Amino acid sequence: IQKMRFDQRLEYEINCSVKGSIPPLIVQPLVENSIKYNIKEVDVLKIMIDVSRGKNIIVIKIIDSAKKVTPDMLHKGTGLTVTQKRVENAGGSFIIKNGGIEISF
């Protein structure tokens, strides 16, 4: 829906080499936050979602082309904090790394 709304101002790439599922409301709110807070900052917002298998874990990386995520952003609003708690309650880890978010289960 957001791609239809923002058309050429929003680009995305999804790389997923893993079959299976992840707990609900993990990726969606992070992508929505990226669009909500960054679409006005750049001419074209590019969002990359990468899902891969690590050693006995599934790793999800979400990175965009605008502002880089920093640890202090966890305390500025509720979106990141709530998603972090969801991940941790599902037995995963939520790490801010290289300006993006890395989640593993």
Q: Which residue has the tokens 């080499």?
A: 17
pTM above threshold 0.85: no
Write the CATH number for 7.
Answer: 3.30.565.10
Do 68 and 99 form a contact (C-beta atoms < 8 A)?
yes
Nearest to 53 by CA among 4, 7, 15, 13: 15
Q: Which residue has the tokens 């690590």?
A: 54
> 93-97 and 100-104 as β-strands: parallel, antiparallel, unpaired?
antiparallel
- pLDDT value of residue 89: 95
Number of domains comprising the chain: 1
**Domain span including residue 95:** 2-104
Nearest to 16 by CA among 27, 30, 5: 27
Kindly report, residue by residue over 79-104, the tens digit of the pLDDT. Answer: 899 999 999 999 999 999 888 999 99
pLDDT in tens, the chain (105 residues): 677 778 889 999 999 988 888 888 999 999 998 998 889 889 999 999 999 998 889 999 999 998 788 888 888 878 899 999 999 999 999 999 888 999 999
Do 35 and 3 form a contact (C-beta atoms < 8 A)?
no
